[in-house]
Amino acid sequence: MVSESAAKGSEQAAGNSDVGDAARDDAKDTGRKGLSGKTKRNLLIAAILIAIGGGLWFMRYETYGQYFQETNDAQIDVDMVAIAPKVSGYVSEVLVEDNQNVAKDAPLVRIDASDYDARAAQARAQIAQAQASVENARAGIAEQQAAVAQARAQLAAARAKARHDAGEVDRYAPLVASGAERRETLDQLKLAATQSAEQVRQLEAALTAQQRRIATLETQVAQARAQGEGAKAQLEAADVDLKATLIRAPIAGRIGDRTVRTGQFVQAGTRLMSVVPLDKLYVTANFKETQLALMRPGQPARISVDALEGTEINGRVASVSPGTGAQFSLLPPENATGNFTKIVQRVPVRIAIEAPASARKLLVPGLSVTVTVDTRSAEGELDEIEEASEEAGEEAESSAEAKTRGTR
């Protein structure tokens, strides 16, 4: 049994060896014969097609591809205006609906104005009170001026009498000394002169007091006028607040994101809705930094709108952002921290939409678009920049060599 199994194994191994030898012989025969004519023809056709395709791609790149920059990282934007009240209060009426078109200065929201009416009335009352105070003070000044005039007249008479009495004393004194007049008469004259002088002093003090009273009344007039001016300022502020209770549209557009409702209490500065000027739409296209070499304001662009099933509209480059999108983000990248990884940055480019009204009315902010910019108008600028850089470099080298020779 064992011998029979061994014999069968040896026969099977010999058969496998014969099959391997036959396969190697067929491979050698195929190598000697080479590829078939059909295979060679297919390979040749494939090579020709590849060459033609490469040539067409190169021609397209040279004539079209390198000058037409495209990005699908773009959307329609607009500078919408957020509507917020200047004053706080309860909303008494909402005058617009969602998605409603409004004209400039159209009324949007009315806030209850009763508190602001009361403030205006209070300010008017304060103005009237201040005016009355001014009139009363002016009347007092007029009375005091009359009293001052009377006091001056009395003072003048008293001074005249005092001078007369003093003169009588001077006249009688020699006579009394010579014995021509009695001393009692001189004493009476001296007493009268003293009384006249005292009356002059009293009238002078009274005149000064009257004059000071006028100054006090003039100060009261100034204070009343100041109070009146303050009340006028309060009235103007109340009128401004009163007008602000009726919120109007600052621009023409369509109402969007309306959150205000009748009866709601709103704080000053609370966002109530937005007005979207649909006639001022534009496209923000985020191009890679490697696409901006020839991009300039004024170059034509084609805008393909996804919402319009790829319909293309005309546009024009309006401006290029002064920085990448990352620079204007909330947390700009800080590459000096040691975690720098170079990635291609994107720069926002503003594209003005040049489309007819029939197309514009179908566009809204936020729609995704694909933008292609024709940069052929700046074709030769890079060569000019390169030449200018080379000239500047040569001048710098010449200047450095001259300085080196001068130091030697």
Phi and psi at residue 351, to the nearest 5°: -115, 120
Q: Which residues, listed in sequence order, are joined to residue 315 by a DSSP beta bridge?
A: 301, 353
Query: Does residue 172 register a pLDDT over 60?
Result: yes
Tokens of 95: 């005058």
Residue 269 CA to residue 247 CA, distance in Å, equals 12
Q: Which one is the CATH code of 277-330+342-392: 3.40.1190.10, 2.40.50.140, 3.40.50.11740, 2.40.30.170?
A: 2.40.30.170
Q: In what order do the strands lie in the sheet with 81-83?
A: 81-83, 273-276, 253-256, 101-102
Q: How confident is the model at residue 22 (pLDDT cuts 50, 70, 90)?
A: very low
Tens digits of per-residue pLDDT, 69-124? Answer: 999 999 999 999 999 999 999 999 999 999 999 999 999 999 999 999 999 999 99
Tens digits of per-residue pLDDT, 277-308? Answer: 998 999 999 999 999 988 999 999 999 998 88
Tens digits of per-residue pLDDT, 35-66? Answer: 677 787 778 888 888 888 877 766 666 655 67
Please tell me the predicted confidence (pLDDT) of residue 20. Answer: 47
Instruction: Give 279 or 388, the one with higher predicted confidence.
Output: 279
Other CB atoms within 10 A of residue 234 CB: 17
Tens digits of per-residue pLDDT, 390-407? Answer: 777 777 777 777 777 766
Domain coordinates of the chain in residue numbers? 81-113+246-274, 114-242, 277-330+342-392
Q: Could you give the angle at which helices 114-178 and 183-244 cross, rounded to 10 degrees? A: 170
**Architecture, CATH, for domain 81-113+246-274:** Beta Barrel (2.40)
Other CB atoms within 10 A of residue 385 CB: 11
Percent of the chain at pLDDT exceeding 90: 37
Tens digits of per-residue pLDDT, 139-169? Answer: 888 887 888 788 788 878 888 887 887 777 7
Residue 190 CA to residue 166 CA, distance in Å, equals 7
Tokens of 307: 């919402």
Please tell me the predicted confidence (pLDDT) of residue 388. Answer: 74
Q: Number of H helices and number of E strands within the chain?
A: 6, 14
Please tell me the predicted confidence (pLDDT) of residue 30. Answer: 46
CB 76 within 8 A of CB 281: yes
Other CB atoms within 10 A of residue 362 CB: 13
For 91, counting Cβ atoms within 10 Å of its Cβ (0-12 exposed, 13-18 middle, 19+ buried), the class is: buried
Instruction: Give 92 or 222, the one with higher predicted confidence.
Output: 92
User: Could you identify the residue written with the tokens 């009273």?
Assistant: 213
For 283, counting Cβ atoms within 10 Å of its Cβ (0-12 exposed, 13-18 middle, 19+ buried), the class is: buried
Mean pLDDT of 124-139: 87
Please tell me the predicted confidence (pLDDT) of residue 147. Answer: 80
| CATH hierarchy code of domain 114-242 | 1.10.287.620
Mean pLDDT of 360-374: 92
